Every structure is written in structure tokens, then in C-alpha cells.
Amino acid sequence: MGVSIVATDVDAENVATAYASPVRRALEGIHFLNDSLEKCQRNYAPGKSSLKGTIFGAPVVNSSFLRCTGLQHFLQTGIAESRNGTMFVIARNLVDDGAVANRTMPAGTYRGDGGVLPGSSGVGFYGGGSVSRLSGLSNHAPNDDATATLVTTAIQVIPLTVWALLSLTFSDTLVVCRNLSVPFTAQATPTSMRRVSPDKIRVGSGYTSYVGGCDVALFQYHSAVLSEDELQLVAADLRSYAAGRGITV
């Protein structure tokens, strides 16, 4: 006769090693950013536990999210940026006044533009530049020796201090930034190939300029352009997860 062991007052995430996302195609990383800094570093994507992250500085963690400051306190994942990709983040800005000191990059690798490698490369979500403005960024260039051109999606005007489920899809031929909580979609069409960053993806920070504070509850990355059906499946799953942590997106 089998024996059933039942544990009470145990959060399954804190003992699990992988998470069954509804879309596993090209899934490189999932980070649940709550409870402990050790947990925040874990990569819950099946088969990707070796690509764990590293905490930089002293971001503050609680039962629902990780509070980060650009270039100072953040999570650096073990995930390499891909030429084609789709990334998701649940985040909010701490301040939304358009000031330079409060501009954020909730997730990305962006390292400036207008130059050559490695100084001008990467992608990212950009919160700021003016009050309530969100956009997606991606560097493009005809070759590695050419000057990079920054491709920016149209800007959405919405309070950045409100929790939102965001996605950024990118390739040589498209850059699409979505606020899946509104919903809102902005697309740009590049004219040259992506300038892929040599850096690992950061959460709560980019690699330059943006030093504002943001709260981040979750990060997920696929090294492929997801279809609309796949994107909506992931979005529904992440909404459900966030609701369990008291966050409505």
C-alpha cells in the first residue's frame, strides 16, 4: 500500500525546480521574483536550471515582487540575448514624473545606440522620457562594424506606476511592444539586422543610462518570435500567477 505525504504551509515554488509553462517552445528562462533573493536567482524553465541569475547590489524582495534600482540593485540572469526573441515582464515604476533620474528599464540588455559593438547593442523595455511613456527598444545595424540605429516602437501614454504585463517581441524585421494589461500594441519595422548584445539579460535594469526604481514580479524569455496564440497562452498563465501574489494585470 502506498504512503501519501501531505505538507502544510509549504509554498510549492520554494521547493520546485521547474515550472510547466503552457508554451515551452524556445523557453530559456522563468524567474519568479518574490519571497527570497535566492529564489529570485533560480531559473524555473525546464532544463535550464544551470542558467541561474546573480543578484547585484541589494534589491529588496517581499512576498510579491523584487524592488530594483537601475545600474545598482537588480537581477542579472544567466540568459543570453537571442537574435529572435519574446520576453515578458510584470512590472511598475516607483515614480512617474518624466525626470531623468526616474527612467527605468524593467528588463533588457540595451547598452546605448549610435555606435559600434559592444557599446551599442541590445533590446529592452523603456519606461520614461516623459510622463507615463512606455516603449520597446532594439538596436539594428547592417553589420557589426556599422553604427547602430535604435528602433523604437510607438509610445504608449499610461501611468507607469500601475502594474502591467508587458511583452517585447523582436527580430531582424520587427519590434513589437505590448502592454497586455490594457491592451496596447506598438510595432516598428527595422531596415537592417538586429545588433545582438553580448551581455546577459538584466531584470530591473539595463546596462546604461536608466537609473530609476521599479518593482518586478516575474520575467520570462523565449528565444523565438512567439505566435499570437502562444503569446496569449503565456499572458493568461502569467496573469493567473500574478493574481495569486495579489497583483492584477
Domain boundaries, the chain: 27-244
The three cell numbers of residue 102 are: 526616474
Note whether 77 and 94 are within 8 A (CB). Answer: no
What is the amino acid identity at position 198? Answer: P
Q: What is the CATH number of domain 27-244?
A: 2.60.120.200
d(CA 170, CA 148): 16
Note whether 151 and 108 are within 8 A (CB). Answer: no
Average pLDDT over residues 78-106: 96
The three cell numbers of residue 68 are: 530594483
In this prediction, residue 162 carries a pLDDT of: 95
In this prediction, residue 223 carries a pLDDT of: 99
Give the contacts of 110 (CB within 8 A, at least 6 positions apart). Answer: 121, 122, 123, 124, 126, 137, 139, 197, 206, 207, 208
Model confidence band, residue 12 (pLDDT cutoffs 50, 70, 90) = low
What is the total residue count of the chain?
249
Give the contacts of 246 (CB within 8 A, at least 6 positions apart). Answer: 64
Share of the chain above pLDDT 70, in %: 95
In this prediction, residue 92 carries a pLDDT of: 97
Has residue 6 got a pLDDT over 80? no
Has residue 3 got a pLDDT over 50? no
Q: Is the dihedral of CA 196, 222, 29, 58 positive or negative?
A: positive
Has residue 10 got a pLDDT over 70? no
* 8-state DSSP, 106: S
Residue 106: asked if its preceding bond is cis (omega within 30°), the reply is no
User: For 191-224, what is each residue's pLDDT tens digit?
Assistant: 999 999 999 999 999 999 899 999 999 999 999 9
Residue of 68, 113, 60 lying closest to 203 (CA atoms): 68
Gyration radius (Cα) of the chain, Å: 18
What is the reported pTM?
0.93
Continuous H helices in 42-148: none
Share of the chain above pLDDT 90, in %: 80
Q: Say if residue 17 is exposed, middle or buried (CB neighbours under 10 Å; 0-12, 13-18, 19+).
A: exposed
Residue the block writes with cell 511592444? 177
Across the chain, mean pLDDT equals: 92
Has residue 5 got a pLDDT over 50? no
Has residue 158 got a pLDDT over 90? no
In this prediction, residue 29 carries a pLDDT of: 99
